[in-house]
Structures are given as C-alpha cells and as structure tokens.
Structure 1
C-alpha cells in the first residue's frame, strides 16, 4: 500500500459516511460509541434524509487535506455506491456492515464492525474485482454482487411501492402481487431472442446450484457468472428461483418447486450484453446490488463487463 494512504489506528484521514436509513429491518446497536472509541480522529458524516452520497464525498474530497480513505456504514446499495466513488477518487474503501443482508462485506469475511476496523488498523487490504454495468449510453455503474433483470427487479419494484408497510411485510405483499402479475420478458443476445423469467449476472464465479446469485463468493473476481432462467416453467418456479438462502433452496428442491436444471442456462464470460424488452404494462427496470434502476418503458440495452483488481478494500487476508 502507498505510504500516503496507510491508515492510522486513530482514524486520521478517514472520511466515514453513516447511512442511518440502511438496515432498518434489522435490530442492531448504535455504532456511534464504537466509532468514537476506535476511530476518534475520523470524520464521521451522518447522511441526511435528502442528501446525496456523491455530493457528500465530493465536498470531503475538496477539503484540505482530502481524505486518504473513504468509509461507509450501510447496506449493499450504500457500499456499492461508495465503491464507485472510491474507484473514481482512487482511494481504498473501509466497508462496515450496517444493512439488512450485507452480502458484499460478508463475502470478504467482514461479519462485524470490529472485524472491519481491525483490518483497517492492521492495514490489511484485498484487491477486489467488480463489474461495470451500463444501460444504453449511460455511464457505467460499479457493481459488487449482481445485476438482474426480470422477476427479481419486478419484485423489488413492487416492494418499493409498499414502503409504508415496512421491508418484511411489504416484501410478503409484493411477493403475492408479483406471483399474480408475473410474465416472462424478452431478451435479445447476439441476435438471438429468448423468453425468460430472469437473468442474474454475478460478479465472479458463484454457486452452480443457484439461480438467484445475490451474494458474491470470491474477492478476486475476473469473470461474470450468468444464470438465464428460461420461461419454460410456471410462475411458481419463477418466484421459487429467487430463493437465495441455502436452506430455502433445499426445501424448494425437495418440494419440486425449484427450476429444473434444463431450464437454467449458465455462462461464464468477461463481457455480457443483452437487450431487454418487458411486456406491455410491466416495469422497464433492472437491479444492481439491491438498487432499483428504472428505464424507458420500451426496454433498454444492458452491458456488463468484469473488472478484476478494480477496488482496494480493508479486509482480513483471504483464506487459501
């Protein structure tokens, strides 16, 4: 690591953003005392309700001196956005688990705030591969876990419209609504058209038994692991495919509700591009790291590219 970016145990040179809106579905203790005790010289910025993370980081980077490390306490969406900003500003990232699932940090062995700060104090970092996803001619977005179109984004879109019910109850209601309204969408890849329930583009190689590859499985990801669930099964199978817990998937397989192997196409590529054409009346959306992106109703072109060794993250050394 460059000496100029070597962290201090006190937190000097660290700009740490706390997104208090993350992880509201999980009961956890207030991290402020830990920050005050272990990172007393860090600048801890509480993200306001209507404040944009990009603007908060941009303002910090204009300071004198500018932060040496960018930190984030939040869920996968917040961590993903901070990863994009860390890459843009050529800074290492300190990621602290503060969301509901924390898929990315768990994959790096960061199961607690203390573990992450221990790695920061020790100057222990890993070089992480990411994906860049671009819709139509938009600028690429940094992705840490997965990009998806089809059933899962529609489920998220349905849940977003029921935020007043809370994440868990809203999720149950959204699942019922998605099951009722689910329709395959059309994708076009390399001139070939297909009707599919969903497409998942995972950063790095993933569990071959899963369809919904929500959590990455490796740090040094140099490829994209793609699962295309072709629309040859029922709506129930389409929703069952979204089970990303090992136990849930096992139960669904035992009940013969999980998609058949022959209905799931698996690809491992460095680049992947499709045109997405949803059915009339269905949202034109995709999801990356739990963040919903809306597009024009007529559909969109989605391109994903693997970028190995693209981000430096404080984490324990990877196990052999």
Structure 2
C-alpha cells in the first residue's frame, strides 16, 4: 500500500503490492524532515507509555521493521511494525492485496508474509531513538502450537520494542482466530504471562471485529485475568457490506478502510462497556479524520491507529487528524486526551 504524497497518484496506479513495496523503499531512503512538535494537548498516557499524540500507525505496513526511521518522521505518536512470525514465510500466493478505490477500502490475504523473527529483531535493535515502537506478533501457518510461536516472539524481542501486540485476529492464517475462544485464550495468555516474568514491556491483544458483544466481554475478562495491558479493537473483517461497489469486493481476505468503520465502532463500544475503563483500548478500523478519531476517543479509546486511509489520503493525513483533534479537545474544554476518553458513553 502506498504511503507517499510525492508520486502518490503514480503509486495508486500500480499493482497494490508493488506500490506497497515501493513505498517502503522510499521511506527507507528518502531524507524526510522531522515532523513538527506536537500540540501539548495531544500528549497521551497509554499502558505506562507516554505518547506525544494518540495517533498511531497500525501493523501491516512495515512488516519487517525496515522503514522505522522514515516512519518516525511522519508525525505518528507510535508506530507498530509486523506481524512477525518466528520463522520466515512467503505468505499466500499473489495477487493477495486489492485496492477498492470506489469504496476507499482494501482487501488483503497476505498471510503473514515476513522475513522472520531474527531479521526483525536485528532491525529493532537499530530502531530510531525517541519513537514509541510496537511489535506485532503472529504465528507461522504450519506450526502445530501457535501459542508457542507467540511466546518465542515475546522472549526474542525483550528489550527491543516499547510494547508487543499479540495478534490473534488475522483472518488469513488458518485456525488463528480460534485463539479468541476463552479456553484457547486462557492457555495462550497464561503461557505469555509465565514468559513475561519480570519483563516490564506492555503486552497488547488485538482482536477481530467479527465478534459478538458477549464474545468481546469474555475476551476483556480473560485479558484482565492474565495481566494484558491494552486491547486493540480491531483487525480487518470478513464481512462484505452490501454497499461495496468495487469489482474486487468478493475477493477473499480481510476488509479494511471506510466500510469497516461501523463494525469497528460497534466492537469498540462492546469492549468499552465490558471493560468499564479497567483496560485501555486502542481503536482501529475506518479512522480517516480528526472527527472520527475524536469519536473513538470519546467512545472509550485511549489512542487510535490508522493504515488504510493513508493509501487514499497520503501521510499528510496524520497532521490533519492531529490538528483537528487538538481543536476539538480544546473546543470541548479538555486539556488532555485522557480527559475525553469515554465521555460519550
């Protein structure tokens, strides 16, 4: 997926995966100036982390931690790279990434394509200073013990990331979403808790939007029981709204972008109702403006993440969201983001 204002129209005219690769290469080599300092009203505390603003990059853009120096200059409050699996894997056959331009959406069935944990860890060891970086963990497609893959990732990345996300919600790895059931989740989170020992690194859990409110409530309780530090709500959806117009609308994979907004918002509302502010929430899915970011914060999110909207809006979207968000906070009398969290409930 393309993420550059210069030549953005050209990139959007290319095959989506080719455009994505070129965007990563550009972020690796382009001499980008640092982003302007953030408005103090945007400073955010999340699971013990201090963020200069609550607008983060969701996992999936920089799967291998290649472009962290470039991404650190785009103005995000935090950057999440991955998903990474213990062993390298090629992912699913191409084509596996589809741009639904009419719908401002993306469908992907990438299948956790990545260069593996060792290469990823080496790059994180050279990460830029002053940027909050998260690592998104996945499981290899052919592993028999998926929980063991997450434990391996957690142990290998100790001290290299500011937080780690356990991704049990990608629809493109067979059996992965089964880990969201209570019994499997208790096993996974229990093993992760043992592996953490005295490791202070926050651990987040990323869930799917295709869950009922009751299922989300069970996940919230499991997360609290096992010391998970925050919940990311949510991943891509398997749903295909009737409103989709693109010829790619029936492609298999996870749908993200504007059509995910309603489903992701409903999942956030369910998580906020279940957690009652006991567990920080990060909102993802269909966030493409300051108004939408503010709505998710007031619905209960402490921070937000964006990705697919960047394909259509370019990286200037980050600054626009932050400026609008700061103005909305001040207009409503809030002096911090934290004061606004959950105020619409």
- Structure with higher RCO (Cα < 8 A, 6+ apart): 1
Structure having the higher helix fraction is 2
The verdict on a shared fold, with TM-score over 0.5 as the criterion, is no
TM normalised by structure 1 equals 0.26
TM normalised by structure 2 equals 0.24
